[in-house]
Amino acid sequence: MMLRHTLLILWLVLALLAGCSRSDETGFETPATIAAGTDFLMFPNPQASLGVGDYNVVFSNITLPLSPAAYVLTVIYSDGTSEAFTGTWTTGQTVTQPIEVKRAGGITILLNSSGATASLTLGVTGAASTVASTSGVNPSITLSRFKIDEIAYAQAYYQAIDPGNNKDTLEKWKAANGFGACDYEVRFRDVHDLGYGRHMCARRDIGTGDIAVWVENFQVTAVPGQNYGPLNLEAVVNDDRRWHVSTNAIEYSPVTLGGVKFVKFYTFTPTGERKLLTNLDGRGDKAMPTVCISCHGGRAQPLTAAGLFGTIGAEVSGNALARIQPINVDTLDFSSVPGFTRGDQEAKLKGINQLVLCSYPRPAPTAFLEDACRLPPVNNEWQGTTAAMIKSWYGGDGMPNATLSDIYMPSGWTAGAQQDLYRTVVAPYCRVCHALRGTANQNDIDFTTFTKFAGTNPATGYADRIKHHVFDKGNMPLALLKYNEFWSSSAPATLAAVIPGAIDGSGNVLRPTRPVAKPGPNRTVLTNTNVQLSAAESVNAVSYRWQITGGAATSTLTNPNSIRPIFNTSVAGTYTLQLIVNDGSTDSDPAPLTITASATLTPVPAAIRFVDIKNILQNNGVTPTTTCAGCHVNSNPGGPPVYYNNYDRNGDGLINATDDHQFYLDMRARINFTNIEASPLLRKPSGHHHAGGLLLGFDIDNLIGGNRTHYDTFLNWILNGAPE
């Protein structure tokens, strides 16, 4: 009897504790407010390796000891899809495998050649030139999703700014920049930027005027969802090293003694090793310096053909035209611990802002002491109004006030609603990154006037792009913290009130979590030719519905429920189509696409090559008096920092085919394969924020007669993968 009961009791305990074991939840949830695939701290043109299109993978069997043998070709796309192709081959055999890239990005191609030495080539279908090639046993090709976000990019950057590799640790970097004591040392939390607790130390070399700043980042990651919260302030004030996650460092100095000073970025591990990648917002690693310069006013030029960090205009390699951000003390979080209060640190922060001011160009000499350290601008260097903003924070010229007060209002924002818009939207959510952008001769992007910001004239205003980036795609505000803050505030409604199309028919502000149909730019095509359309730029789309809504009845649409349907017509004329996408539960609003079909197009779209693009850039009269290359010429360093003339691009003393290839790569860098109509190569000559205005043959808005011949040539080249 006793045994029976004991066994029963044991069974009871086991039944309850094992059979009814509990799930462990933490209750922390990630709000689903970000569009799928959004990349923060990334340029709007992320330099995708491949555009949407048809490509050929060609592989040849060079040597095979035993034949025939099996091969396996595996293709992995950066959208996560993959496919494999198998077959057998023998020595000397070449196989061509067509593939379809449905979304702009990168690719990995793996060939299991069964021991054979093989060549492997990727190229645009129909083009003789190759995108990439290699050879060997089991050869592979990897093209990163974004050319400015890969390890090789960061390696090339450090090689450019630290050619002697003398700063590969924080200690070496500090030594190279003369750090003993700091000129100014502060601790705070940057509530509205990256959310870190930050321990900042800055100094300026009296002799050279070089500036160096290091910042230890403290991030408490123990509480899911609160990685950027107030605990980070406690951690930095307590110097709790377990939460010291990285150290960033910035220099304003030349690479070689006596050279042009520019801003350089480094990041180090907590133990002081230099990092190639860093994860600033918890959404994955990104390459240096892209993750920094995307919000420091920089430009990201892909690597050169030789694998070097690209040059911008006449600048030295490594100069990404980025700037040091000023510190808006009003937006920081301070501790109440003595020594770390705002009051205790205000003078030091002012000192740091003075150093930042020293790194900005001074267009003309002034009598004010704070400007004495500033250098004259170089080439077409950005000048902006940030220097004026810093001064205004401290009472204007002379910076008489000890305490920062952010009442800055650029003169281009006139009274009333505009100033309210500036205060509640532009200053908190846009200004930090945009104020440092632009060049001396084209600075619409700095948003220092209402017209530049919300102007509906696409030649000078950015209302159309704001609609795209904020309300459709959702990749701005550019930093995740800012993004979440923005969408938790009343700012979207304030902004939507001045941005056409940002409010739906029910009066609600559009949010980027909805499905958005993007059928690509209106285009001109050839009759009796298959034209592959693309919905790849759509947002939050998992299914697609294309429909012809106007034009001759002879037109056809093959695979209308696919991301890349085929349009064909035998009759010249104008056709209208619409695209509706669905996110799995909700239809998007229909988006229109206009196709103009022509019986004759010269050159034929599929045959357009870089030589045709170059010919337009260099030889066609794009204004009555000049060509593109008339301004964009390397002998004009005060002009735009993109050159269309033939010159020694790789610095080897020769002007030859190698330079022409680099010319091609430089132009390819002006294509945004993730948002084709936003490509500078299309937007600038068509009169959007172009110091040269609208050019002949690029009149997509029908402002000077509607001739868009050159635009269509450029566009069809890009849509065909921009073959060389």
Which range in 44-52, 223-231, 264-272, 478-486 contacts other proteins by CB under 8 A?
223-231
Q: Give the nearer residue to other proteins in terms of CB position, either 20 or 206.
A: 20
668, 678 Cβ separation under 8 angstroms: no
Determine if 30 is a binding residue for other proteins (CB under 8 A): no
- Contact pick of 222, 407, 415, 657 for other proteins (by CB under 8 A): 222
- Contact pick of 93, 226, 489, 532 for other proteins (by CB under 8 A): 226
Q: How far is the CB of 233 from other proteins (least distance, A)?
A: 9
Binding mask 113-132 for other proteins (x = CB under 8 A): --------------------
Tokens encoding 342: 């705002």
Q: How far is the CB of 556 from other proteins (least distance, A)?
A: 47
Q: Give the nearer residue to other proteins in terms of CB position, either 223 or 703.
A: 223
> Which residues, including other chains, have CB under 8 Å from residue 5's CB and lie 6 or more apart?
none
Q: Give the nearer residue to other proteins in terms of CB position, either 224 or 284.
A: 224
Q: Give the nearer residue to other proteins in terms of CB position, either 241 or 396.
A: 241
> Which residues, including other chains, have CB under 8 Å from residue 711's CB and lie 6 or more apart?
682, 685, 686, 697, 698, 699, 700
Q: How far is the CB of 22 from other proteins (least distance, A)?
A: 5
Q: Give the nearer residue to other proteins in terms of CB position, either 17 or 611.
A: 17
Please tell me the distance from the alpha carbon of residue 445 to that of residue 689, in angstroms, as a whole number. 8
Q: Give the nearer residue to other proteins in terms of CB position, either 110 or 233.
A: 233
Q: How far is the CB of 246 from other proteins (least distance, A)?
A: 19
Sheet architecture: strand order including 140-143: 82-89, 69-77, 107-112, 140-143
Q: Give the nearer residue to other proteins in terms of CB position, either 225 or 550.
A: 225
Q: Pick out residues in 228-257 that bind other proteins (CB under 8 A).
A: 229, 231, 234-235, 238, 240, 242
Q: Pick out residues in 421-480 that bind other proteins (CB under 8 A).
A: none
Please tell me the distance from the alpha carbon of residue 318 to that of residue 292, in angstroms, as a whole number. 13
Q: Give the nearer residue to other proteins in terms of CB position, either 9 or 542.
A: 9
Which range in 2-10, 473-481, 672-680, 691-699 contacts other proteins by CB under 8 A?
2-10
Q: How far is the CB of 3 from other proteins (least distance, A)?
A: 11
Q: How far is the CB of 270 from other proteins (least distance, A)?
A: 16
Q: What H or E segment, with its residue span, contains residue 579?
A: strand 573-582
- Of residues 681, 685, 684, 689, the one with CA closest to residue 715: 681
628, 615 Cβ separation under 8 angstroms: no
634, 641 Cβ separation under 8 angstroms: no
Q: Give the nearer residue to other proteins in terms of CB position, either 29 or 411.
A: 29
Q: What is the 3-state secondary structure (H, E, C) of 582-603?
A: ECCCCECCCEEEEEEEECCCCC
Q: Give the nearer residue to other proteins in terms of CB position, either 6 or 626.
A: 6
Write out the DSSP string of 142-197.
Answer: EE-SBTTSSHHHHHHHHHHH-TT---SBHHHHHHHTT-SS-SEEEEEE-TTTT--E
- Of residues 394, 348, 406, 349, the one with CA closest to residue 370: 394
Determine if 28 is a binding residue for other proteins (CB under 8 A): yes
Q: Give the nearer residue to other proteins in terms of CB position, either 6 or 88.
A: 6
Strand-pairing partners, residue 73, are 85, 111
Determine if 680 is a binding residue for other proteins (CB under 8 A): no
Q: Give the nearer residue to other proteins in terms of CB position, either 181 or 222.
A: 222
Q: Pick out residues in 314-353 that bind other proteins (CB under 8 A).
A: none
Sheet architecture: strand order including 244-253: 184-189, 197-204, 211-218, 244-253, 262-268
Q: How far is the CB of 189 from other proteins (least distance, A)?
A: 12
- The secondary structure of residue 330, as a DSSP letter, is G
Q: Give the nearer residue to other proteins in terms of CB position, either 3 or 553.
A: 3
Indicate the SS3 state at residue 13.
helix
Q: How far is the CB of 12 from other proteins (least distance, A)?
A: 4
Q: How far is the CB of 268 from other proteins (least distance, A)?
A: 23
Please tell me the distance from the alpha carbon of residue 518 to that of residue 578, in angstroms, as a whole number. 10
374, 381 Cβ separation under 8 angstroms: no
Q: Give the nearer residue to other proteins in terms of CB position, either 9 or 151.
A: 9
Strand-pairing partners, residue 56, are 98, 123
Q: How far is the CB of 231 from other proteins (least distance, A)?
A: 5
Please tell me the distance from the alpha carbon of residue 249 to that of residue 176, in angstroms, as a whole number. 12
HSE of 50 in the Cβ direction (CA atoms, 13 Å)? 30
Residue 376, preceding bond cis, omega within 30 degrees?
Answer: no
User: Strands 523-526 and 591-598: what pairing?
Assistant: parallel
Determine if 32 is a binding residue for other proteins (CB under 8 A): no
Q: How far is the CB of 223 from other proteins (least distance, A)?
A: 5
Q: How far is the CB of 686 from other proteins (least distance, A)?
A: 49
Q: What H or E segment, with its residue span, contains residue 347?
A: helix 342-358
Q: In whole angstroms, how far apart are CA 599 and each of 65, 77, 522, 571?
A: 52, 36, 17, 8
Size of the site for other proteins (CB under 8 A): 35
- Contact pick of 70, 175, 223, 654 for other proteins (by CB under 8 A): 223
Which range in 221-229, 429-437, 599-607, 716-724 contacts other proteins by CB under 8 A?
221-229
Q: How far is the CB of 469 from other proteins (least distance, A)?
A: 32
User: Strands 286-287 and 573-582: what pairing?
Assistant: unpaired
Q: Give the nearer residue to other proteins in terms of CB position, either 16 or 175.
A: 16
Tokens encoding 16: 């309850």
Q: Give the nearer residue to other proteins in terms of CB position, either 9 or 611.
A: 9
Write out the DSSP string of 39-57.
Answer: -SSS-SS--BSB-SEEEEE
- CA angle centred on 646, ends 643 and 650, rounded to 5°: 80
Determine if 5 is a binding residue for other proteins (CB under 8 A): yes
Binding mask 8-27 for other proteins (x = CB under 8 A): xx-xxx-xxx-xxxxxxxxx
Q: How far is the CB of 28 from other proteins (least distance, A)?
A: 6
Q: How far is the CB of 481 from other proteins (least distance, A)?
A: 17
Which range in 83-91, 218-226, 469-477, 505-513 contacts other proteins by CB under 8 A?
218-226
- Of residues 80, 102, 46, 40, the one with CA closest to residue 538: 102
443, 6 Cβ separation under 8 angstroms: no
Q: How far is the CB of 662 from other proteins (least distance, A)?
A: 52
Query: Would you tell me which residues interact with other proteins (CB under 8 A)?
Result: 1-2, 4-5, 8-9, 11-13, 15-17, 19-29, 220, 222-224, 226, 229, 231, 234-235, 238, 240, 242
